[in-house]
């Protein structure tokens, strides 16, 4: 037996060998990036439930020889190569390939929405439906970033996927990107979740820029109580209405409203509890690790990624502006009864954006409690971003 030859072969074929082979530096950079993301998730608590999974998925997929995720297999599937089906992927793929089937099939984002629906109280929005206008206005960034992305040379479907970062809604961004531009899933997911975590840093300067001290001090009247019947009817009406308007939103809106119905009907507490806890946690693990796995070195280390990160920030900032501008208009129309700060919460990111409205409001008036008022635009932003995604999907998905 050729001992030296065998040892040499082992070294060359090992992950270490591949790391230091030609082009191996890319793996090292990606391992470095995954460590930075792990630090942001654990050390800085940036959306840790997702960031840790994404970072670790990225780490696993970029360890040479791990064979956890096979990008060429998915490229062949997307290209419509005959013979490449989910069954082939289960047979030939690695563990993260199997997890990724749930992303590709649109399963995980929909199940996350089921949990979000079970966790969300739409009462503040039902009590004050006018605040929904701010949720609609706060989708401005989606369409401005879409336009900007086309101007920067992205294709229509890619631009639509980048634009939806402005919706500040992770599952919607992942859902749309998987359908329209799966090759950009890694950077888009990272941008969406990073900026959602950075909302307390991004929004306050814009809020102060677009409102006066007098506006920020406005104390809003307590909203009317919402009856149980209204809360039960709401998910049924919204599902029927939004899905009839934009059928492509059915998986997201349908699951969101089903989860909410579990919560509000009062006779399905076990299902509501499962949707918002156990199921949500399990799906989060699968979703995060498989999205992280798509961050292969060849895909991620490109100029496109930098453009996406910049466009994502622009989308977030402009969405915040859109909500605030309509908030300002409503302040004047209501003769000073509406605090425009709640407009910034229209960017979704439930409930972080509403908390930011509350914090900025309290800095101007320590007796001000805007949280429940801000929850109205906040949850209507979720519906608004689902409508925006539905529109983009119907335009570019066909």
Residues that bind another protein (CB under 8 A): 125-127, 129-130, 132-133, 135-137, 139-140, 142-144, 146-147, 150-151, 155-157, 159, 224, 227, 229-230, 233-234, 237-238, 241-242, 245-246, 380, 383-384, 387-388, 391-392, 395-396
Is the Cβ of residue 111 or residue 387 nearer to another protein in the bound state? Answer: 387
- CB nearer to another protein: pick between 132 and 372: 132
- Distance in angstroms (rounded) separating the CA atoms of residues 221 and 42: 39
Shortest distance (Å) from residue 137 CB to another protein: 8
Instruction: Tell me if the bond preceding 351 is cis, omega within 30° of 0.
Output: yes
Read off the tokens for 105. 């099939």
Closest distance between another protein and the C-beta of residue 223, in Å? 11
Residue 121 or 230: the one with the smaller Cβ distance to another protein is 230
| Shorter beta-carbon distance to another protein: residue 6 or 394 | 394
Nearer CB in complex with another protein: 41/171: 171
Minimum distance between the CB of residue 55 and another protein, rounded to whole angstroms?
A: 32
Residue 85 beta carbon to another protein: minimum distance, rounded to whole angstroms: 24
From residue 350, give the alpha-carbon distance in Å to each of 10, 330, 370.
50, 22, 14
Residues 384, 313: Cα–Cα separation, whole Å: 19
Q: How far is the CB of 156 from another protein (least distance, A)?
A: 4
In contact, 57 and 85? CB cutoff 8 Å: no
| Residues 6 or more apart in contact with residue 51 via CB below 8 angstroms | 37, 38, 40, 41, 193, 194, 197, 288
Compute CA 232 distance to the chain's CA centroid, rounded to the nearest angstrom.
27
Report in angstroms how near the CB of residue 131 gets to another protein at its nearest: 9
Residue with smaller CB distance to another protein, 29 or 265: 265
Cα separation values, 78 from 81, 109, 315, Å: 8, 19, 28
Between 40 and 149, name the residue whose CB sits nearer to another protein. 149
3-state helix, strand, coil in the chain (%, to 5): 80, 0, 20
CB of 352 to another protein, least distance (A): 21
Q: Which is nearer to another protein, 278 or 395 (CB)?
A: 395
Q: Is 396 helix (H, G, I), strand (E, B) or coil?
A: helix
Residue 224 beta carbon to another protein: minimum distance, rounded to whole angstroms: 8
Instruction: Give 272 or 385: the residue with its C-beta nearer to another protein.
Output: 385
Write the CB contacts of 77 (distance below 8 Å, at least 6 apart in sequence).
84, 85, 89, 104
Could you tell me the smallest distance in angstroms from the CB atom of residue 163 to another protein?
A: 8
Residue 394 near residue 245, CB atoms below 8 Å: no
Per the rule left: phi > 0, alpha: psi between -120 and 50, beta: everything else, 239 is: alpha
Q: Strand, coil or helix: what is 213? A: helix
């Amino acid at each position: 037996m050729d001992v030296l030859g065998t040892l040499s072969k082992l070294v060359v074929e090992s992950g270490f060998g591949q790391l230091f082979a030609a082009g191996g530096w890319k793996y090292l950079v990606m391992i470095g990036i995954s460590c930075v993301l792990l630090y942001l998730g654990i050390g800085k608590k940036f959306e840790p439930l997702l960031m840790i999974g994404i970072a670790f998925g990225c780490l696993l997929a970029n360890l040479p020889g791990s064979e956890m995720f096979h990008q060429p297999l998915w490229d062949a599937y997307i290209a419509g190569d005959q013979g490449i089906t989910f069954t082939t992927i289960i047979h030939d793929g690695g563990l993260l390939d199997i997890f990724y089937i749930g992303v590709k099939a649109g399963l995980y984002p929909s199940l996350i929405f089921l949990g979000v629906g079970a966790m969300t109280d739409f009462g503040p929005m039902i009590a004050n439906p006018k605040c929904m206008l701010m949720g609609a206005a706060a989708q401005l960034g989606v369409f401005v970033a879409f336009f900007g992305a086309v101007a920067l040379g992205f294709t229509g479907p890619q631009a639509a996927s980048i634009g939806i970062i402005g919706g500040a809604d992770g599952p919607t961004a992942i859902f749309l990107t998987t359908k329209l531009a799966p090759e950009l899933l890694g950077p888009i997911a990272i941008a969406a979740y990073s900026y959602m975590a950075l909302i307390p840093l991004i929004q306050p300067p814009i809020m102060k820029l677009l409102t006066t001290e007098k506006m920020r001090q406005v104390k809003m009247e307590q909203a009317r109580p919402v009856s149980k019947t209204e809360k039960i009817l709401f998910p049924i009406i919204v599902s029927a209405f939004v899905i009839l308007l934009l059928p492509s939103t059915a998986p997201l809106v349908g699951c969101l409203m089903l989860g909410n119905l579990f919560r509000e009907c009062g006779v399905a507490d076990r299902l509501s509890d499962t949707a918002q806890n156990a199921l949500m946690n399990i799906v989060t693990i699968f979703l995060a690790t498989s999205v992280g796995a798509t961050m292969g070195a060849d895909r991620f280390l490109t100029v496109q990624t930098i453009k996406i990160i910049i466009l994502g920030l622009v989308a977030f900032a402009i969405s915040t502006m859109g909500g605030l501008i309509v908030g300002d208009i409503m302040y004047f129309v209501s003769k000073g009864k509406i605090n425009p700060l709640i407009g910034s919460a229209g960017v979704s990111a439930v409930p972080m954006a509403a908390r930011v409205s509350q914090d900025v409001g309290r800095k101007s008036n320590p007796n001000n409690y805007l949280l429940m008022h801000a929850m109205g635009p906040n949850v209507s932003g979720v519906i608004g971003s689902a409508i925006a995604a539905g529109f983009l999907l119907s335009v570019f998905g066909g």
